[in-house]
């Protein structure tokens, strides 16, 4: 558990999902068969979750400091996004904002 900025965490996950999962030069710079096979595995059938999805991401300033397990949150967010893509959703809107709705219900 750690204090973290929710906006930066979500944007980091989305950035990670939109990038190539491999280094373009790794396969050419491999020094042995093991490195070559590892680089080759990373290049086979990479999936860009947002390739056919129109994403609208609204993230405010880093006002949403939260205490959470970043790894577990990241895994859960990726799982949700993969499920949405799996049912062929074509538009997503992710909004991260801070709203003060008053005291919680008791």
Domain boundaries, the chain: 2-19+48-96
Nearest residue to 55 via CA among 21, 8, 89? 89
Secondary structure (DSSP) of 9-49? HHHHHHHHHHS-SS-TTHHHH--SHHHHHHHHHHHSS---T
Mean pLDDT per 10-residue interval, the chain, length 106 residues = 86 82 78 87 74 73 80 92 80 73 46
Spell 59-82 as b/e; 16+ CB within 10 A means b.
beeeebeeeeeeeebbeebeeebe
Q: Taking every pair of C-alpha atoms in the chain, what is the biggest distance, in angstroms?
A: 63
* Residue positions counted in the chain: 106
pTM across the whole model: 0.64
């Amino acid at each position: 558990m750690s204090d973290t900025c929710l906006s930066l965490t979500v944007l980091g996950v989305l950035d990670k999902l939109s990038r190539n999962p491999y280094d373009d030069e790794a396969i050419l710079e491999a020094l042995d068969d093991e490195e070559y096979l590892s680089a080759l595995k990373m290049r086979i059938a990479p999936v860009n979750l947002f390739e056919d999805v129109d994403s609208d991401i609204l993230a405010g300033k880093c006002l949403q400091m939260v205490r959470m397990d970043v790894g577990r949150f990241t895994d859960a967010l990726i799982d949700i996004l993969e499920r949405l893509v799996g049912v062929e959703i074509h538009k997503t809107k992710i909004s991260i904002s801070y709203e003060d709705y008053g005291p919680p219900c008791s």
